[in-house]
Amino acid sequence: LRDFKNQVLGMLETAEKEREAMRSEAESAAVRVDRLEREVDYLETQNPAPPCVEVDETLMEKQVATAKQRKNEKYTKLTDCSDTIASVRAMKILKRFGSTLGLWTKDAAGNSEKIYVFDGTANDTVYVFPRMREFTLFSATRKAARIKLPYPWVGTGHLVYDGHLYYIRQQGSFQVIKFNLANKTVVDSSVFPAEEQIPVFGLSPFTYIEVAADEEGLWAIYATKEDEKNICLAKLDPTSLDIEQMWDTPCPRENAEGAFVVCGALHVVYNTRLPSRSRVQCVFDVSGTLAPEDASLVYFPKRYGSHSSMKYSPHERQIYAWDDGYQIIYRMEMKKKLEV
């Protein structure tokens, strides 16, 4: 009996140790599960589910019909901006970065010093430099942060505006994607309500929609087969991506290489098949203040080739251009439209 008692006591001691070990493992697993749940909650907060980008045919038809009804209506200006470009005051070549085609820009609506670089016409990674100095002085991208987009972009018509990236995605039809640069999430997306789109610039066949910003807000520059000879213009709501108003312009697509909007007036830049001096040769003012035939013919200094992108900064009154892989800043001389 004494031997049996000692044997049972040993077994009980071993069982107690195993029970304690199992209890410790269970507590550790509970802690890990709790931590995982908190991390999942945080990720869901920071990365909400992307919005549905499927095309609602009924909504699409309604948007197209509404937009067509508002074509060529009188535009009500939001600001008192009445300037136009008189001349290119200066040109500064920053560096050569990336491929021959691309886009570089700042936030068109804020005071941020960050530089955003889109290398190529079909990619999904944006380089972000903290300020101009880092972008200028370093040849490599080691000073740049990288933002990987959920969908690849197409063309060079993208825009950074008020902390958001508006870029073009092609999935059958063309979509404008609104991407929050702070929390790296898709905020909204919209199928552009234009049928049978074609490249908007004759000399830049890779761009179908050019999203632009000026003192009045957001614009979309595009072209369709319905009026394939000329460029079209639309006013965008930056919050909902709805088309507020659309215009047919007299500016031809042929030999156009880029465009931008200044104070509610579309400025189209032209070149030749064999790259020469770029010039603003057509201006369309949505408010009717400036007639196309009264606009100044603005020439840009001769450079390397032709522009693949030109982004106007309303705050700085200058243009960020990408020319054959070179990043260039054009400083503009402005004057009142009535003085032209």
Rounded to whole angstroms, the Cα distance separating 120 from 99 reads 6
Residue 166's CB is within 10 A of a number of other CB atoms, namely 25
150 pLDDT above the threshold of 90: yes
Whether 167 and 116 have beta carbons less than 8 Å apart is answered as no
Closest CA to 118 of 110, 108, 129, 109: 129
Phi, psi (degrees; rounded to nearest 5) at 217: 130, -140
Identity of the amino acid at 212: A
Going from the C-alpha of 111 to that of each of 5, 74, 193, 258, 277, the distances in angstroms are: 83, 32, 32, 25, 32
Which of the 8 DSSP states describes residue 120?
Answer: S
- The mean pLDDT of 237-246, rounded to a whole number, is 91
Rounded to whole angstroms, the Cα distance separating 264 from 134 reads 33
Whether 230 and 265 have beta carbons less than 8 Å apart is answered as no
53 pLDDT above the threshold of 70: no
Closest CA to 268 of 294, 230, 235: 230
Rounded to whole angstroms, the Cα distance separating 218 from 109 reads 10
Which of the 8 DSSP states describes residue 301?
Answer: P
Rounded to whole angstroms, the Cα distance separating 337 from 262 reads 11
Closest CA to 330 of 306, 314, 310: 310
Structure tokens at 167: 């870029």
Whether 147 and 199 have beta carbons less than 8 Å apart is answered as no
CA-atom Rg of the chain in angstroms = 28
Rounded to whole angstroms, the Cα distance separating 144 from 136 reads 12
Which pLDDT does position 74 carry in this prediction?
A: 72
51 pLDDT above the threshold of 70: no
Residue 286's CB is within 10 A of a number of other CB atoms, namely 24
125 pLDDT above the threshold of 80: yes
- 252 burial (CB, 10 Å; 0-12 / 13-18 / 19+) is middle
Which of the 8 DSSP states describes residue 201?
Answer: B
Q: 78-336 maps to which CATH number?
A: 2.40.128.630
pLDDT band for 44, please (50, 70, 90 cuts). very low
Phi, psi (degrees; rounded to nearest 5) at 3: -65, -40
Which three-class secondary structure state does DSSP give residue 133?
Answer: helix
Which pLDDT does position 289 carry in this prediction?
A: 78
pLDDT band for 338, please (50, 70, 90 cuts). low
pLDDT in tens, 262-307: 999 999 999 988 877 899 999 999 988 776 666 778 899 877 778 9
Rounded to whole angstroms, the Cα distance separating 102 from 66 reads 34
pLDDT band for 67, please (50, 70, 90 cuts). low
pLDDT in tens, 15-42: 999 988 898 888 888 777 767 766 655 5
